[in-house]
């Protein structure tokens, strides 16, 4: 069994991420207002992926928004959920791609939640088992 690996900037790597992939997220800067500062790289698993079509009715520019829900590392005592978003937009100049910071949601006082970002990611490494080879 061998591992397939993708490595590069988030805008290039995140479109290829699949549910179940193991990711290492490397920060280039943290959000100083975030209570926890998880160790870089943050190792997590892609739990689910949702793709939403953006239209002029619900966005400034048409395109797609791909949200990847991730596990929260054990050393982060603040967040209940992590996710990162990859956006592709189309305008008269062509295609633009962008990636959000690593976003989080946390429960406050049971009924209230807060959201924000953990920090900006500049490199993503995806570890994936090569499915073409079988276990013996």
Spatial CA neighbour of 17 closest among 40, 41, 51, 42: 51
> What pLDDT, on the 0 to 100 scale, is given for residue 131?
58
Residues 6+ away with beta carbon under 8 Å from 111: none
Angle at 90 between CA 18 and CA 60, to 5 degrees: 100
- Count the Cβ atoms, other than its own, within 10 Å of residue 103: 18
Give CA–CA dist 72/83, Å, rounded: 9
User: Following DSSP, what letter does each residue of 75-102 receive, concatenated?
Assistant: T-SS-SEEEEEEEEEEETTEEEEEE--E
Least confident of 15-19, 35-39, 40-44, 132-136: 132-136
> What pLDDT, on the 0 to 100 scale, is given for residue 126?
96
Give CA–CA dist 26/29, Å, rounded: 9
Give per-residue pLDDT as tens, 34-47. 887 787 899 999 99
Whether the CB-CB separation of 106 and 82 falls below 8 Å is answered with no
pTM to 2 decimal places: 0.86
pLDDT at 1 over 60: no
Give per-residue pLDDT as tens, 62-118. 999 999 999 999 888 889 999 999 999 998 888 999 999 999 999 877 778 889 999
């Amino acid at each position: 069994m061998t591992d397939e690996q993708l490595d590069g900037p988030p805008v290039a790597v995140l479109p290829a991420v699949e549910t179940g992939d193991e990711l290492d997220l490397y920060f280039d800067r943290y959000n100083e207002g975030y209570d926890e500062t998880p160790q870089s790289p943050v190792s997590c698993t892609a739990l689910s992926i949702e793709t939403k079509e953006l239209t002029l009715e619900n966005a400034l520019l048409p395109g797609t928004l791909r949200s990847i829900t991730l596990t929260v590392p054990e050393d982060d005592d603040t967040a209940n959920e992590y996710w990162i978003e990859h956006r592709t937009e189309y305008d008269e100049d062509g295609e633009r791609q962008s990636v959000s910071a690593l976003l989080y949601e946390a429960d406050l006082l049971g009924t209230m939640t807060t959201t924000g970002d953990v920090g900006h990611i500049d490199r993503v490494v995806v570890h994936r088992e090569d499915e073409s080879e079988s276990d013996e």
